[in-house]
Chain A
């Protein structure tokens, strides 16, 4: 996967900083990555490294305390950062890119029938009538594996897995090309996780939808990934394709992440990464991973460039020739 022919979405130098009383939080700091049509890219990273913020930055779902928001986002070759908010809302958000937000299944409105909640984006964005919306919702429910007669139920009448499927249906109903999934299965148990991934695989295979999958769970992320982007402290440190990444990642952080995964089918002792990610209020000057990195050397006190190793991009001094 190389960056130049990301024909669906290409993000360049995306920055999103939040203002707080203690300074600005560099949640997304010059992020570059992208994906092709009908591709799924996983964004991996620890809690607080900026994954959800990246999703918000792409969809321009900004909180009020943003102090810096810049960069270029090319969707089908057009820079959508140039659009004004109204055009972006009408033509991009939900129309082209939709999202299943973190904890979406617990954020459904408890007093509105799930069918009506799924219909809502279609009515707003596609202007479909109420009747058409019902049949559209039924079709969506079919895609995500929710029984059709659930449209008249309330969220509390559904299991967690079903509610998550409803949340996916809400993202799907406007037929976008790209869906951003923020931790879609973190709160679910294994069987439900696996069945949600079956749904996502089917959407990708049969409807040709692309995904950006945000998660901290490497094992399940391999269920959908074509490409992998590893995020650390607001920056992307490795962009790789799934086969090479899951076989052996390059960046020291990715390697340690991989080594921390407990495995069912191989008897290797998992090893955890000591320490904690740095604060994004005042990230370290050089390599942000330096204080936890076993391979650290003198160069690491300067910010590493992004090296290209046979098409894999690694932000680490070890790979600069």
Chain B
């Protein structure tokens, strides 16, 4: 549970990330509003999950936190004082190195022409660890941490010689080798075989507990969040629509979209084959021209006429959830 005593590590306030669309390479053609007003605080050592369909803006949010995208509006404050959106040049570079990044596609995330040792040394080289012996010591240590053992067997392998799970371990090792306080994991297991997903998630959780890492875990699969995070944020079309402690969310989802996500998630059960699943109709909306009012209203089974399509819901308290839905007014 959230320890109210813990200090805020990352504070996000009314963050907007818009990408300009251009017609024929010039000429303005609107914005993709990938992140459109997101606010939350992340504390030291806290784990949160961000859940949502593909294209709802999860990765854009992450990349902005990592300093890879510039916020269009709003602010990101790191460690109490650092205004991430205003960083430039060398200071931005240094900031980026403070956050570990685990990507979705482990094979793509590793330079195919570097061996494991070189891959893991790169962040050290770039961030000023000049002594090769010291670098090797830290590479070995981090490889032990992610259980790429025996270390000597793996040191000189190239990414294509590793299984998907091992590749993702290398990615995780790289993410923690600079001893960050925050690790961002963007769908770290969705490209992996089901049988190794749990293994990787448990590894991440073990590291999180050992080093008191704050972790942002991004996924579209609700069934894994409760083994991993303390709080869950549900994202839809660039907005966070529900924020709640994980057990409370899984047992008692409030937002109609969260409910839809849960309904779509299968547990192994032969009876699944006997019925159709209830799903919200249609596809997620365009982020260039999102629907008016509540963005979920065209697909919402509980839409309130003359309200939901007119006025945008704001965060409303419902038990220990914050829900952006007029039902909880």
By a beta-carbon cutoff of 8 Å, the part of chain A in contact with chain B is: 40, 46-47, 159-162, 187-195, 197-198, 201-202, 216-226, 242-243, 245-247, 257-258, 260-267, 269-273, 276
Contact check, A225 vs B266: say whether CB atoms are below 8 A apart. no
Contact check, B283 vs A161: say whether CB atoms are below 8 A apart. yes
- Shortest CB-to-CB span from B288 to chain A, Å, is 14
Task: Please measure, in the bound complex, the distance between the C-alpha atom of A226 and the C-alpha atom of B273, giving whole angstroms.
Answer: 8
B63 at the interface (CB under 8 A from A): no
Contact check, B266 vs A194: say whether CB atoms are below 8 A apart. yes
Contact check, A190 vs B265: say whether CB atoms are below 8 A apart. yes
* Residue of chain B at shortest CB distance from A197: B277
Main secondary structure of the interface of B (DSSP, over half): helix
Task: Please measure, in the bound complex, the distance between the C-alpha atom of A245 and the C-alpha atom of B53, giving whole angstroms.
Answer: 30
User: Which of A47, A191, A271 contacts B280 (CB under 8 A)?
Assistant: A191
Contact check, A194 vs B267: say whether CB atoms are below 8 A apart. no
B315 at the interface (CB under 8 A from A): no
In the complex, which residues of chain A have a beta carbon less than 8 angstroms from the beta carbon of B266?
A: 194, 219-220, 222-223
Report the number of A-B residue pairs with Cβ-Cβ less than 8 Å.
128
Task: Please measure, in the bound complex, the distance between the C-alpha atom of A309 and the C-alpha atom of B307, giving whole angstroms.
Answer: 60
Contact check, B220 vs A189: say whether CB atoms are below 8 A apart. yes
Contact check, B268 vs A258: say whether CB atoms are below 8 A apart. yes
Further contacts, 13 of them, CB under 8 A, given A46-B195, A189-B53, A272-B199: A159-B55, A190-B222, A191-B264, A192-B53, A193-B264, A219-B267, A222-B269, A224-B273, A257-B194, A258-B268, A260-B197, A261-B268, A262-B223
* Residue of chain A at shortest CB distance from B280: A191
In the complex, which residues of chain B have a beta carbon less than 8 angstroms from the beta carbon of A264?
A: 222-223, 226, 250, 262, 265, 267
By a beta-carbon cutoff of 8 Å, the part of chain B in contact with chain A is: 53-55, 163-164, 191, 193-199, 201-202, 220-224, 226-227, 250, 260-270, 272-273, 276-277, 279-280, 283
Task: Please measure, in the bound complex, the distance between the C-alpha atom of A159 and the C-alpha atom of B250, giving whole angstroms.
Answer: 28
In the complex, which residues of chain A have a beta carbon less than 8 angstroms from the beta carbon of B261?
A: 190-191
Task: Please measure, in the bound complex, the distance between the C-alpha atom of A276 and the C-alpha atom of B165, giving whole angstroms.
Answer: 10
User: Which of B198, B222, B223, B224 contacts A272 (CB under 8 A)?
Assistant: B198
Contact check, A190 vs B264: say whether CB atoms are below 8 A apart. yes
Contact check, A159 vs B194: say whether CB atoms are below 8 A apart. no
Task: Please measure, in the bound complex, the distance between the C-alpha atom of A174 and the C-alpha atom of B227, giving whole angstroms.
Answer: 45
Contact check, B273 vs A272: say whether CB atoms are below 8 A apart. no
Select the residue from B191, B227, B280 with max chain A CB neighbours within 10 A: B227
In the complex, which residues of chain B have a beta carbon less than 8 angstroms from the beta carbon of A194?
A: 263-266, 277, 279
- Shortest CB-to-CB span from A156 to chain B, Å, is 14
In the complex, which residues of chain B have a beta carbon less than 8 angstroms from the beta carbon of A272?
A: 195-196, 198-199, 202
Task: Please measure, in the bound complex, the distance between the C-alpha atom of A219 and the C-alpha atom of B262, giving whole angstroms.
Answer: 13
In the complex, which residues of chain A have a beta carbon less than 8 angstroms from the beta carbon of B202?
A: 272
Task: Please measure, in the bound complex, the distance between the C-alpha atom of A188 and the C-alpha atom of B163, giving whole angstroms.
Answer: 21
User: Which of B53, B195, B270 contacts A191 (CB under 8 A)?
Assistant: B53
- Shortest CB-to-CB span from A302 to chain B, Å, is 26
Which 3 A/B pairs are nearest by Cβ-Cβ distance? A194-B264, A189-B220, A272-B199
A-B contacts, 26 listed (Cβ < 8 Å):
A40-B273, A46-B193, A46-B195, A162-B283, A188-B54, A189-B53, A189-B220, A190-B220, A190-B264, A191-B53, A191-B260, A194-B263, A194-B264, A219-B265, A219-B266, A222-B272, A223-B266, A223-B272, A225-B270, A242-B273, A257-B195, A263-B223, A263-B268, A264-B250, A265-B267, A272-B198
Task: Please measure, in the bound complex, the distance between the C-alpha atom of A262 and the C-alpha atom of B202, giving whole angstroms.
Answer: 11
* Residue of chain B at shortest CB distance from A218: B268
* Residue of chain B at shortest CB distance from A195: B279
